[in-house]
A and B are shown apart, each in its own frame.
Chain A
Amino acid sequence: EVQLLESGGGLVQPGGSLRLSCAASGFTFNNYAMSWVRQSPGKGLEWVSGISGGGGNIYNADSAKGRFTISRDNSKNTLYLQMNSLRVEDTAVYYCAKDREWLRVDLDVWGQGTTVTVSS
Chain B
Amino acid sequence: QSVLTQPPSVSAAPGQKVTISCSGSSSNIGSNSVSWYQQLPGTAPKLLIYENNKRPSGIPDRFSGSKSGTSATLGITGLQTGDEADYYCGTWNSGLGTGVFGGGTKVTVL
Give A residues with C-beta under 8 Å from B. 35, 37, 44-47, 50, 59-62, 95, 100, 103-108, 110-113
Contact = CB atoms under 8 A, between A and B. Distances in A.
A106 B51 contact: yes
A106 B54 CA distance: 11
Determine the main DSSP class of B at the interface with A: strand
A44 B44 contact: no
Contacts of A37: 45, 99, 101
Nearest to B101: A45
Given A44-B88, A61-B98, A107-B47, 13 more contacts: A45-B45, A45-B88, A45-B101, A46-B101, A47-B100, A59-B97, A59-B99, A105-B35, A105-B90, A106-B35, A106-B50, A107-B35, A108-B56
B91 A105 contact: yes
Interface of B: 2, 32-33, 35, 37, 39, 44-47, 50-51, 56, 86, 88, 90-92, 96-104
A112 B43 CA distance: 7
Given A44-B2, A45-B104, A59-B98, A108 B92 contact: no
B99 A108 contact: no
